[in-house]
Amino acid sequence: MRTLILTPNRNLCCGMYQLAKDLAKEFDGDIKTRTAINRPHPYTKDGNWIYNQAWKYERVITFLYPMHQHGKYFKKHYGTKWICYNQGIPPVTKTYFPNFWRRQAMKYINWRNNITMKGADEYWNVTEREQKPRWTEKKELDYRFVENIKMHKLLQFGNADVSSAYAIYLGRTTDYKNYIWLKQTVKELKILLIHPENLSDDIIHALLSNAKMLVTASIWEGYGRSVNEAQALKIYTVCFDTGAHDRLVKYGSVVPNCNFELFKQKIKEFWYDRIEDRKG
């Protein structure tokens, strides 16, 4: 059964796109984004590229609005089996989206997402469906590329030497991820934090493998991909109790959600005192 996977973007920092890549491997499928769907077909004057290719696929998996509406169209007009991968959206409140205008935009997106996902043949829940980590073995950090990364400012190393101990953060930096707070907190604790963005899987693998700790102060997750991958490599993790974190973490500390003071304390305890909550 040939499978088409529709995801809004190809942002390497986005867990949704990484999950789409996993599904493409699992089902030997093709990934298309919103940009591809809106691109005119090169051999026709009318219509979108993807709709001119629809006959090739027996199954379509969609992630989030506006991709669900395309899944609905495929099912109605081509008889394609439509699977809605329900990613979920954080509660649209000031806690998760402090900016007023951002909240209004998210209210609209949430409304459209809930409407367009109706009528699918199957629904997969992102928190419940297990995800496989990209790596299960650690990778040596090749210091030949570290200077090149620093030179192009792809990593936030500052003047620090990555050969020393560092913590790592993986993922986007949107509102509820609390990345600005996290950066300030680890700076106060005099801990080097790196945040690699849009780098190859190879480099991310090496950087994660050699980190002393993975930290994420996100207060909402559908699943928790970075935590899953850190645990697979036996990297100590400090995170909030959201998404599948409590189920995933065997080596680390899962802090009650939004308890920022305790979160900071748990980072300090492991980094300086080697106090481990869950020992794996």
The predicted-structure confidence for 78-104, as pLDDT tens digits, reads as follows 999 999 999 889 999 999 999 999 999
pLDDT at 149 (0 to 100): 55
Domain at 258, CATH number: 3.40.50.2000
Structure tokens at 139: 């990778």
Indicate whether 114 and 150 sit together in one domain: no
With tokens 């402090």, the residue in question is 98
Domain at 9, CATH number: 3.40.50
Q: In this structure, what is the dihedral angle of CA atoms 179, 17, 221, 84, given to the nearest 10 degrees?
A: 150
Segments forming the whole domain that contains residue 254: 146-279
pLDDT at 45 (0 to 100): 44
Structure tokens at 101: 């205008």
- Positions in the chain short of pLDDT 70: 36-51, 143-163
pTM of the model: 0.87
- CA distances 91 to 57, 176, 241, Å, are 34, 10, 16
Indicate whether 81 and 173 sit together in one domain: no
Chain centroid to Cα 137, Å, comes to 20
Domain contains 135: no
At 237, is the secondary structure helix, strand, or coil? Answer: strand
54, 44 Cβ separation under 8 angstroms: no
